[in-house]
Amino acid sequence: MASQTSRQIKPQTRSSKAKPQASTSAASENNSAVVEELPLTVCNNNNNTLARWPLSKYANFIISQRPGVGTWQEKTAGEPHDMWIQITQRRYIQILHGDELLECINLSEVQGVWKAIRRGPNMLVLISNKKETGRKFRIRFQQNNQEEPTAVAYACACHLSRFFTLHDADRQGQDDDHRPSCTISIKQLAEAILNPQNSKWPSDYADVGDSLELVPDLLRSCLMDPNFPALVEAVENSLKKLMD
Q: Residue 101's beta-bridge partner residues? A: 7, 96
CA distance linking residue 190 with residue 217, whole number of Å: 25
Sketch the domain layout of the chain as residue ranges: 5-176, 181-243
Residue 40: how many CA atoms within 13 Å on its side-chain side?
12
CA distance linking residue 199 with residue 191, whole number of Å: 7
Q: Answer with the residue of higher pLDDT: 233 or 182.
A: 233
- Lowest-pLDDT range of 76-80, 172-176, 185-189, 210-214: 172-176
Query: Model confidence over 26-84: pLDDT tens digits?
Result: 333 333 333 333 333 345 445 588 899 999 999 998 887 776 677 889 999 988 889 99
Q: Answer with the residue of higher pLDDT: 135 or 117.
A: 117
